Amino acid sequence: MDWKVVLDIVVSLLLIATIGYAVMLNSRLSSLRKNRDDLAKTIVNFNEATVRAESSIPKLRKAAEESGQILQERVEKAQSLRDDLAFMIERADTMANRLENAVRSARADGGRVAASAAPAAPAAPLPRATGGSRAAQQAAVAAAAAGAEAEGDERSEAERELLRALQSMR
């Protein structure tokens, strides 16, 4: 064989391989161009979403600050009310103790006077609502009020006000 024919066959085979590779490269480039358009659309949508999010951040920050201020005001008001209630409970306990002591001394004094006429019943302490359920506290207040009515008007004005306050809490 002649060198020219062999060389032509080799060049032909290389040209066939190059054409096949060019076709494959062309199909990949066309799919890349197609995906590039989709990627461009995605980037545009992402930019729009970013702009909307950035414009919403100040609004969200303002709403959070307003909510925080409202919450802080409510917390301060609740703390003030808690302090007032603690003071009132302390005062009510003090007044209840005074009332209980006054009732005991009045019963003891009344028992000495009645001892000459008839044996006195043992003095029962004034029921106090120091804990437990709300129903138990209401029952204690009702018992205190009933005991107060049975004993008459031997109480001071402060004791009567305390009983009225306890009854109004029911």
Average pLDDT, the chain: 79
Q: Helix, strand or coil for residue 85?
A: helix
pLDDT score of 126: 43
Q: What is the pLDDT of residue 144?
A: 59
The whole-angstrom separation of Cα 13 and Cα 17 is 6
**For position 138, what pLDDT does the model report?**
56
**Nearest Cα to 120, choosing from 104, 136, 143?**
104
Each residue of 20-59: pLDDT tens digit?
999 999 999 988 888 888 888 999 999 999 999 999 999 9
Question: Of the candidates 165, 158, 166, 162, which has an alpha carbon nearest to the alpha carbon of residue 142?
Answer: 166
Tokens of 167: 């009854």
Q: 143 Cβ partners below 8 Å, 6+ apart? A: 127
What gap in Å lies between CA 28 and CA 155, rounded to an integer? Answer: 104
pLDDT at site 123:
40
The Cα 126–Cα 135 span in angstroms is 17
pLDDT band at 1 (very low <50, low <70, confident <90, very high): low
- Over residues 99-134, the pLDDT tens digits come to 888 888 888 887 665 554 444 443 444 444 444 455
Asked whether the CA dihedral 56, 57, 60, 62 is positive or negative, the reply is negative
What are the backbone angles phi and psi of residue 131, rounded to the nearest 5°? Answer: 175, -170
Instruction: Please write the tens of the pLDDT for every residue from 126-165.
Output: 444 444 455 555 556 566 555 555 555 566 777 777 777 7
Q: Which residues contact 108 (CB under 8 A, 6 or more apart)?
A: 123
pTM of structure: 0.38
d(CA 152, CA 111): 15
